[in-house]
Amino acid sequence: MLLRDARQRACLSREDLARRSGVSSRQIYDIEHARCSPRNATRAVLAVAVGVPRDQIDWPAPAARAA
């Protein structure tokens, strides 16, 4: 399950998740759109905030940018 799916199942907006987790809504957007890969500590707080075990969330690697 992707973070966006977990967030939506928890009926949370990106801003709600930001308030619950302490992670900025911009960073959550970037994670959801595979623009950055979160550190383990960030993964942990986001998983707790959406109520899903961290190992059940797929954390895609950032997409490679074209040169």
Identify the structural domains of the chain with CATH numbers, from first to last. Answer: 3-55 (1.10.260)
How sure is the predictor about 67, in pLDDT bands with cuts at 50, 70 and 90?
A: low
pLDDT tens-digit map of 28-65: 999 999 999 999 999 999 999 999 999 999 998 887 66
Whether 16 has a pLDDT exceeding 80, the answer reads yes
Q: Give yes or no for a contact between 14 and 28, defined as CB atoms under 8 angstroms apart.
A: yes
Residue 64 CA: distances (Å) to CA of 22, 35, 36: 27, 9, 10
Residue type for position 4: R
Q: What pLDDT is stored for residue 65 in this prediction? A: 60
